[in-house]
Structure 1
Amino acid sequence: MTTIKEIGSFCVTDSDGHIINHSDWNKINSIFHPVINDVVHTYCTLLQDDLHSVYIRGSIPKGIGIEGVADLDTIAVTKQKPNKLQLKRIKEVEDALTQNHTCVDGIELSVYCKEDILNTASFSIISFILQTHSICVLGEDLIPLLPRYKANEALANDHLIHLQGQIKIAYDDLQDNSDVEDIKDCCKWIMKIIVRAGLALTITKENTYTRDLYPAYKLFSECFPEKESDMRKALEYAITPIKDTNELLLFLNEFGSWMVSEADKWLQCHNPNRELKLKW
């Protein structure tokens, strides 16, 4: 049985409702320094002169990353759009990096172009994550150039408008899949999405946000008590992914379908034109 640790918190905001970024290099447990340095070196090697800056986000720069449990989520910003070969090589080294560093459960490498990061006329989840949950560990810091963000419709929309497609991707990936590690990776990925989408259903009412899974589950359960047990199961699957594809497919068919239906109701009210990115 999965042990759920009651950790995490909601984003703190200023007097105007803007989310305050509490990530700080000084909060990072020194156990994670070698893996961060290795990731930075990897980006430098693979992207070379095209690399603009590197960021880490998530629980580790907030100082709440648990050794052996936390993922190291990273973002590299390039001076121009990355090519397919660069992206392919980046993805190929993720597993090797993770195997070399047991202090983290997984490592995520991602690459975005500087031009796209700074194009903030409409809501951008990557710009949002940089501004509210990240720190720069190499290069010129773009965070001061980004807008301030609130927990509002534009943020909720980004979580909900993609949900149906994301669940379909997971469903298709799980069907007839016998690769245990791939199944677990897919399980962890889609369940995090579902938990955060559950929180997104509450944003316009509660005006609060978190990337942390436990408080997201708790707030959703307060607003939808009849679905608490289902969301708790999604949380458990996100923390301890399983390899039983039949169980996962059944869960996606049932609770996943309910979530898609609720997301559709939200979109019908707040984004009837189904715009992928709302004005922030």
Structure 2
Amino acid sequence: MPDAFRPVVAAARARLPEVYGARLHSAYLYGSIPRGTARVGRSDLDLLVALRAEPTDADRRTARALGTALDAEFTQIDGVGTLLYGRDRLLSDLERYDLGWFVACLCTPLLGDDLAARLPRYRPDDPPLARETNGDLDRCLPRWRERIAAAEDTEAARRPLVRFMSRHLVRTGFTLVMARWRGWTSDLHEMADAFGAHYPARAAQLRTAARYGYDPVGDLAVLRSYVDDLGPWLAGEYARVHGVKAPRPTP
């Protein structure tokens, strides 16, 4: 972990038990900070928080408030993204090849008992793994269009959307070919390169998305290209190759 981000991580580690108390089971880092590739002033802090019960609206507001406070206090980061789930859901059969895999293989324990010890060993060529990790892009696209339409007409308001959607598309492209790549990674550039080896006609688009996943622009044309071109094509190809992800309960 780059030294510049150690105070940010230490603050998150100290404050999560303060705001969630006994409801907190464990917390994890993922993304560029634990990977060691974060850039000062440009990278965000990515957290996954497991609660002992399903999160409530109040829990989600707490996560947003904590993220806002950390972002305001530490200039090293550009935003905080927090995934919030109940422990039982993360360990459930339904999430075994999605959130369970994510915790076990792509997250770094921050505090609490690591749930990875209770999850299976995964193989990149397991067919359910590709289907259940990113086989729901087609269901995401209408929500993305709504978020784009609702966003303020400013570069600052669109940048987080570009970052989020870029990362989602690159991860979807990677898991489309993960079995053939025979491994996994959380580096967006590696993901895009692995995808491009099998889909050269779309390689440049995914490599650009990988760049925007780390260094986003607030360009409306980029967002429209995601929901009108790259996203629909990727959703269709994913369904053709791997099938469609099982529906999840509405939060």
TM-score where L is the length of structure 2: 0.86
Equivalent-residue separation in structure 1 for 2:54 and 2:30 (angstroms): 21
Are 1:165 and 2:130 counterparts? Answer: no
Contact 1:57 1:129 (8 Å CA) reproduced: no
Residue of structure 2 equivalent to 1:182? 157
Aligned residue type for 1:168: P
Are 1:211 and 2:186 counterparts? Answer: yes
Per-residue deviation, 1:63:
3.0
Per-residue deviation, 1:188:
0.8
Are 1:148 and 2:121 counterparts? Answer: yes
Contact 2:164 2:213 (8 Å CA) reproduced: yes
Equivalent-residue separation in structure 1 for 2:99 and 2:134 (angstroms): 16
Q: Secondary structure at the match of 1:202?
A: helix
Of 233, 236, 242, which aligns to 2:217? 242
Q: Secondary structure at the match of 2:34?
A: coil
Percent identical residues? 22
Equivalent-residue separation in structure 2 for 1:166 and 1:275 (angstroms): 13
Aligned residue type for 2:214: I
The verdict on how the C-alpha distance between 1:33 and 1:193 changes in structure 2, with shifts beyond 3 A counting, is same
Show the 5 A alignment for 1:90-239.
90-120=63-93, 123-151=96-124, 152-175=126-149, 177-180=151-154, 181-239=156-214
Per-residue deviation, 1:168:
2.3
Equivalent-residue separation in structure 2 for 1:142 and 1:148 (angstroms): 12
Aligned residue type for 1:167: L
User: Which consecutive aligned stretches of 4+ in structure 1 deviate over 6 angstroms post-superposition?
Assistant: none
Per-residue deviation, 1:213:
0.5
RMSD: 2.3
TM-score where L is the length of structure 1: 0.78
Equivalent-residue separation in structure 2 for 1:70 and 1:244 (angstroms): 18
CA-to-partner distance for each residue in 1:111-132, whole Å, 9 max, x for gaps? Answer: 2222222224652432222211
Equivalent-residue separation in structure 1 for 2:94 and 2:82 (angstroms): 26
Per-residue deviation, 1:276:
4.4
Contact 2:189 2:207 (8 Å CA) reproduced: no
Contact 1:159 1:196 (8 Å CA) reproduced: no
Contact 2:189 2:211 (8 Å CA) reproduced: no
Of 50, 61, 65, which aligns to 2:23? 50
Residue of structure 2 equivalent to 1:25? none
Task: Name which one, 1 or 2, has greater alpha-carbon Rg.
Answer: 1
CA-to-partner distance for each residue in 1:191-247, whole Å, 9 max, x for gaps? Answer: 111111111221233322222100111111111111122222322332332223244
Are 1:30 and 2:14 counterparts? Answer: no
Contact 1:221 1:228 (8 Å CA) reproduced: yes
Contact 1:50 1:79 (8 Å CA) reproduced: yes
Residue of structure 2 equivalent to 1:6? none
Residue of structure 2 equivalent to 1:11? none
**Higher RCO, 1 or 2 (CA under 8 Å, sep at least 6)?**
1
Aligned residue type for 2:33: I
